[in-house]
Amino acid sequence: MVPRYTRPQMAAIWSPEERFRIWFEIEALAAEAMARLGTIPEDAARVIREKGAPRAASIGPAEVEAIDAIERVTRHDVIAFLTWMGEGIGPEARFMHQGMTSSDVLDTCLAVQMTRAADLLIADLDALLAALKARAFEHQFTPTIGRSHGIHAEPTTFGLKLAGYYAEFRRNRDRLVAARVEIATCAISGPVGTFASVDPRVEAYVAEKLGLAVEPVSTQVIPRDRHAAFFAALGVVASSIERLATEVRHLQRSEVREAEEFFHAGQKGSSAMPHKRNPVLSENLTGLARLVRSHVVPAMENVALWHERDISHSSVERVIAPDATIGLDFALARLTGMMEKLTVYPERMAENLEGLGGVVHSQKVLLALTQAGMSREAAYAAVQAAAMATWRALGRPESRRFRDNLLAEPGVAAVMDGAALDAAMDPARDFAHVRTIFDRVFAAE
């Protein structure tokens, strides 16, 4: 992921320096477990830890280059790392990696990195949920128009809109927590995963120290259905980000103007048109969501490895694991800031709500007419005729409100007077159960 969309804490998880430090920790823990079992001398495990820990901690760009230089000869990253570590540890380094295979280190390290990344993403979601909750309660009873097919439907509140997004991102948090559990597994099982050359108790020890579960059947690599589920969860979160970003983009359109991204002092919307105030953050989020989702299919395709293992997944994961988590981390933080500062225009919402002359109350009138004795077919025809008459004359001198056109319909006037019609179209009826919905969404908090 390019620096523009990278936050330092997430980037640090995927840095080569941190990867090598995790590799050493896995090797050192495995050595400690082997020493306890008598597989290697206790002094060897102690020296590996005492000399290796400061060497691993000191890894910076120069040390990464030194390891990479060895890899250019060995053509094997884990061997290159072990060789470099051995130069600092001394003869006891020969007891590192006893009975292990490279995937034991690589896959367990990836599990550590992905769980750490998941923890950051869960914290990001918590911040977003807090912002959405605050804004939802702020606008719990702010009337606005609900839209279906992009067309005015019936009134709702802006708070209900945001409550819906809150509930969605709460589900996303649950999905990500579940994905974290699934990916947090350790494999120290040796070639083809049979434990022929390493005791299963070594795996259990390393897993416990790293806060991971033991992979039941590793086949030398941790099965990639776990990883596919993780990236699928990230893809769903990204889709929810795009849904909310798309809503903001629509609401900020010039002819809608119900809400807009905060416009900073000194901000410029266009190099050519000084009047522009563009939804650049939500458009950016839409693009980032596409990127995160694009990593889901490669993760799915990684599931089908040959026999006990191949490395067709390796090159894919070296790209998608950092890029998907870094991109989503940035997107969630950006979305949180955008929602915290979102500028809302209740007056404009009210204007749009009644901008079609009251036709948005058509269903309530339809129901009232049927309760007053009209057949549903006759009531629907009368209400639709009044609505179409209102639509067609909007903005013209001869225009009339929906209420007046309804009273001009003989069938309506026969069963309802103006007062009854006003009662049927009372906007308060649209919001009678707002608190009920809020209780459903937020009561468990």
Q: Which residues participate in catalysis according to the annotation?
A: 149, 270
Neighbours of 445 (CB within 10 A): 8
Chain centroid to CA 101: 34
Which helix (H) or strand (E) segment holds residue 153: the answer is: strand 151-157
The 10 Å CB-count burial string (b at 16+, else e) for 354-382 is bebbbbbbbebbbebbbeeebeeeebeeb
Question: Is the Cα dihedral 80, 83, 89, 93 positive or negative?
Answer: positive
Q: Is 206 helix (H, G, I), strand (E, B) or coil?
A: helix
Contacts of 159 (CB under 8 A, 6+ apart): 135, 136, 137, 138, 139, 140, 141, 142, 434, 438
Q: What is the Cα–Cα distance from 141 to 163, expressed in whole angstroms? A: 12
Q: Is 410 exposed, middle or buried (0-12, 13-18, 19+ CB in 10 A)?
A: exposed
Q: At what angle do helices 312-340 and 102-138 cross, to 10 degrees?
A: 20
List alpha helices for 267-343, DSSP H.
280-294, 296-301, 312-340
Query: How far apart are alpha carbons 364 and 370 in whole angstroms?
Result: 10
Which H or E run includes 88? helix 77-89
**Cα 290–chain centre separation:** 12
Q: Please check whether residue 111 is in contact with residue 186, taking contact to mean a CB–CB distance below 8 angstroms.
A: yes
